[in-house]
Amino acid sequence: MVNRALGAPRLTGPQPPDKPELAVQARAQAEPLIKAGDSHLADGIFSVAMLGCALCVLALVGLIVYELVTKSSLSWHASGWRFFFRSEWDPVNDQFGALPFIYGTIVSSILALVIAVPLAVGVAVFITEMSPPWLRGPLAFTTELLAAIPSVIYGLWAIFVLVPLLRLFVEPWLARYLGWTGLFEGTPFGIGMLAAGVILAIMIIPIISSITREVMTAVPNHQREAVLALGATRWEMIRTGVLRNARAGILGGIILGLGRALGETMAVTMVIGNRPEIARSLFAPGYTMASVIANEFTEATGDVYLSALVEVGLALFIVTIIVNILAQFLVWTVTRGTPARANV
Partner 1 sequence: MSETLTPATTVASAPVSLWRRGLNNLVTGLAVGAVILVLLPLGAIFGYLVYKGIGSINWAFLTQTPKPVGEAGGGMANAIAGSALILLIASLMGVPIGIGAGIYLAEYGRNRLGNLVRFTADVLNGVPSIVIGIVAYGLVVLTQGHFSALAGGVALAIMMIPTITRTTEEMLLLVPHAVREAAYGLGVSRWRTTLSITLRTATSGVITGVMLAFARVAGETAPLLFTAFGNQFWNWKLNQPTAALSLQIFTYAISPFDEWHRQAWAGALILIVLIVAAVSAVRIAASHGTLKGAN
CB of 191 to partner 1, least distance (A): 11
- Residue with smaller CB distance to partner 1, 8 or 58: 58
Neighbours of 98 (CB within 10 A): 26
Question: Could you give the CA distance from residue 69 to residue 311 in angstroms, rounded to a whole number?
Answer: 8
User: How near is the Cβ of 114 to partner 1 at its closest, in Å?
Assistant: 14
Minimal distance, residue 69 CB to partner 1, in Å: 11
Distance CA 297, CA 308 (A): 10
Q: Of 179 and 245, which CB lies nearer to partner 1 in the complex structure?
A: 245
CB 182 within 8 A of CB 281: yes
Nearer to partner 1, 20 or 231 (CB): 231
3-state secondary structure at position 89: strand
* 105 versus 281: smaller Cβ distance to partner 1: 105
Q: Are 196 and 272 in contact (CB under 8 A)?
A: yes
Q: Are 162 and 189 in contact (CB under 8 A)?
A: no
Residue 291 C-beta: closest distance to partner 1, Å: 9
Q: Give the separation between CA 131 and CA 135, rounded to whole angstroms.
A: 6
Q: How near is the Cβ of 188 to partner 1 at its closest, in Å?
A: 20
Cβ–Cβ under 8 Å, residues 121 and 212: yes
Is the CB of 16 or the CB of 337 nearer to partner 1? 337
Dist. CA 287–CA 82, nearest whole Å: 19
